[in-house]
Amino acid sequence: MGAICSGSKKEEWDNSGLFSSTKEWKNETKLTFDKQLPTWLKGCLYRNGPGQFEINNDPKTSVHHAFDGFAYIQKYQIDGELNTIHFRTSFIKSRTYEESLKHGHLVARQFGTDPCKSIFGRFQLLFSPLDPKFVTDDAGVTIQRVNNELLALTETVVGYVIDEKTLETVAPLTTLPYTEPLQTEILTLSTAHTMYNSKRKMTVGYAIRMTRSHGHWLDVVFVFDDDQNQQCSITDKQNDSLPTTDCDDKDRNEDDAIDGGGRFIFITNNVNERGKKYNKLIKSKTKSYRYGYDQGASYMHSASITEDYLILSEIPLQFSLTKSMMAVLSDGLLTDMFKWNDALPTYFRIISLDNGEEVARIPGPAFFTFHHINAYQAKENDEDHIIIDICAYDDHRLVKELYLNKLRQNMFPSGLGYVRRFDLNLKTQQCTEPYENHQKLSDNQQQSYPNSFRNSLVPVQFDLPRINSNFIGKLYRYIYAVRGPPDYKFDALIKIDLQTQTIAGLWKEPRTSPSEPVFVQNPDSIEEDNGIILTVVFEQETNKSFILILDAGTFEEVARAYLPIHIPFSLHGNFYATASGNA
C-alpha cells in the first residue's frame, strides 16, 4: 500500500497540472515496469479523456470546463511475461478538433464552453441546433469495444471508430443512437456508457430527445452480436402520438443517408468505406424502442443492467426550454439547460431486456448522479426486487465546481459522491433505501452533512466507480473508485467492501492524483477480487504520470512504469485481454 499522506498542509496539494494540456505521442514507445508483473496479464488498456484545453497553445483560447478538453486516446499494451508496456496516444481527429486548430479558436459548443461571443450568435443557436457550426463531435468520455471495433463515445450523437493498433481516427459512428429525430429537435443526449448483456449477447444503449413541437422521448437500443433485421417498437403507455423510429422506414437507403449529409454526419463528410460498412453492420444488428415522458426529460449520464432488466434513473434534473434559452444566452453549461427540482422524485424506469417492454417506473428519493455502480435481481417473500447501487450526490452543484479556473486553484468545496443503495420492489412498485440514516449524526451535525452521507453504506466520498465486470448485473461485494474529499479531488484509490461496509483497501501517495481504477480478472480464478487494478497516476511534484498496477485483493502495489509525457484528467477506460474478445 502506498504511503499515507498525513499532516500535509492544504497549500502543498496542487493538482492543477492534471488540468493542463499534453501532446500526442504518436510513435509507440516500449517501457519497462520496475517490478515483475503477473505473467497472465496480457492485453491493452485504452483510456479516453480531455488532453488539450487550449487551441494551438494559446491561453486566450482556453476552454472553461474540465469536460471540454479535446478527446485524447491512450493505449497501454501490457505484456506480463516480458514485463513491458508499449505506449502511444492520439487526439481524435474530429471536425471540432481539426477546424478549431485550423481557425485558431473553438468552432463548436462544448459541455461548458460556447464559441459564440455575441448574443446574436448564441440566440441563433436556439433556432439552428443541428448546424455543424454549433454542435460538437468531440467524443472524449469513454472508449469501448462494440462488435469488434473500438468506439470513442460521448453524450452527443456522434461517436468515432478508432483503429485499435494505431489509434488513428477511422470514421464517425453515424448510427448512434440509431433513430432519426425530427427537424424540431432542440437537443439529443446519448449515453457514452453502453452496457453489455452476456446472457443475450447484446450491447445496450439509450438516448434522450428534446423537441420544440413533439415533446420529449427516450430511445433505447439493443445491438446484438447477430443480425436482428431492425425491429422497432413504440412502447409508451401514455402517448400514442410518439414519432416513429427511422428503422420503420424500410425504403431508407443507408448510402444516401451517409453520403447526403444526413442527421448523424452533418458535422463531417469523411465516412470511408470501413466506416460505412461498420455503420451498416450496427444498423442491421439493432432493435430500437421508444418511450415517452409525462414530464420533462431527465439528464442521465449512465444506467445499470441486471441479467434481465435495464434500469434508468430519471433524476429531477429535467430539460427546460426556458432554462435552455438562458443557458445559451449566458454561456452556461449543458446541464444549465435542465432545471433542478428536489421536490420531485427520481423515477427508476425498468425495461425488459427480452422485449423492450417497460416493466415499471418507480418513484424514489431525489438525488443527482453521474455514475451507476451495479444492480442485481433478488427475491424477497417470493416477490421480485432489483437492488441498485449508485454514486449519489444531494444535488448537481458538483458540475459547477468543475470549471477549470476553480480546479486549477484547487477549489473543490463539496467533494465527490457516496454509495447509496435502492431496493425496487417490482410487485408493489415501491422504492426503499435499506441504509437510510445508516450513518449516525448528533443533532448539531445534521446540517453539516449531506443526505447522501447519512444514507451511505460506507462514509467515503468517491466517483468513477468500477467493479469486476464478471459481476455486472449480479450480486457482488467490491467497488473500486477514486476518492475525492473536499478540496482534494482525486487524492487516492479505494476498495469498498459492501459486505462489511468498510474501506477494504487504500492506495495513496503524497501529492498524487490517480485515475479511474480498471479491474482485470486473474483468468485462473473466479474469486471476485482475485486480479489486478490498472490506473494512471499524475505526480504533482514532477508533473509526470505513471501507470500503476495494484493487487486487487491486498491493494498492495505490484509495479509501476513512468510515461514519457504527463496524462491530464482522464475519464474512462477499458482493458481488453489479448486472447479474448470482450473484456
- Judge whether 468 lies within some domain: yes
Amino acid at 28: E
The two beta strands, 512-514 and 531-539, are antiparallel
Q: 255 with 283: CB under 8 angstroms?
A: no
Distance (Å, rounded) from C-alpha 154 to C-alpha 139?
5
Computed over every residue of the chain, the mean pLDDT equals 85
Task: Note the helical H segments in 238-320.
Answer: 254-259, 273-284
More confident residue, 445 or 247: 445
Angle, helices 321-329 vs 119-127, to 10°: value is: 150
What is the reported pLDDT for 442?
A: 79
What is the reported pLDDT for 449?
A: 87
Helix, coil or strand: residue 90: strand
What is the reported pLDDT for 130?
A: 46
Closest CA to 423 of 383, 459, 466: 383
DSSP state at residue 248: G
Residues 405-441: pLDDT tens digits?
A: 899 888 888 999 999 999 999 999 999 999 999 998 8
What is the reported pLDDT for 265?
A: 36
Confidence check: pLDDT of 175 > 80: no
- Judge whether 154 lies within some domain: yes
pLDDT > 70 fraction of the chain, expressed in percent and rounded? 80
More confident residue, 340 or 8: 340
What is the reported pLDDT for 337?
A: 78
Confidence check: pLDDT of 235 > 60: no
Burial 405-415 (b: 16+ CB within 10 A, else e): ebbbeeebebb
Cis previous bond, 115, omega within 30: no
Residues 504-547: pLDDT tens digits?
A: 999 999 999 999 999 999 999 999 999 999 999 999 999 999 99
- Judge whether 399 lies within some domain: yes
- Judge whether 583 lies within some domain: no
- Judge whether 150 lies within some domain: yes
pLDDT > 90 fraction of the chain, expressed in percent and rounded? 60
- Judge whether 212 lies within some domain: yes
Structural domain for 357, as ranges: 10-577
Confidence of residue 123 (pLDDT cuts 50, 70, 90): very low
User: Of 54-68, 174-188, 310-324, 383-397, where does the model show the most confidence?
Assistant: 383-397
As given in the structure block, the three cell numbers for residue 317 are 434534473
- Feature table: binding site: 193, 301, 371, 572
Confidence check: pLDDT of 257 > 50: no
Confidence check: pLDDT of 494 > 50: yes
Residues 301-335: pLDDT tens digits?
A: 999 999 999 999 999 999 887 777 676 655 555 66
- Feature table: binding site for Fe cation: 193, 301, 371, 572
As given in the structure block, the three cell numbers for residue 146 are 462494440
What is the reported pLDDT for 333?
A: 59
Confidence check: pLDDT of 181 > 80: no
Number of structural domains (the chain) is 1
Residues 54-74: pLDDT tens digits?
A: 999 898 888 888 888 999 999
- Judge whether 92 lies within some domain: yes
Confidence check: pLDDT of 351 > 70: yes
Closest CA to 178 of 111, 233, 114: 233
Confidence of residue 350 (pLDDT cuts 50, 70, 90): very high
CA distances from 128 to 45, 140, 184, 332 (A): 39, 24, 10, 17
More confident residue, 337 or 278: 278
- Judge whether 5 lies within some domain: no
What is the reported pLDDT for 233?
A: 58
Confidence of residue 96 (pLDDT cuts 50, 70, 90): confident
What is the reported pLDDT for 134?
A: 56
Least confident of 145-159, 268-282, 510-524, 559-573: 268-282
What is the reported pLDDT for 120?
A: 41
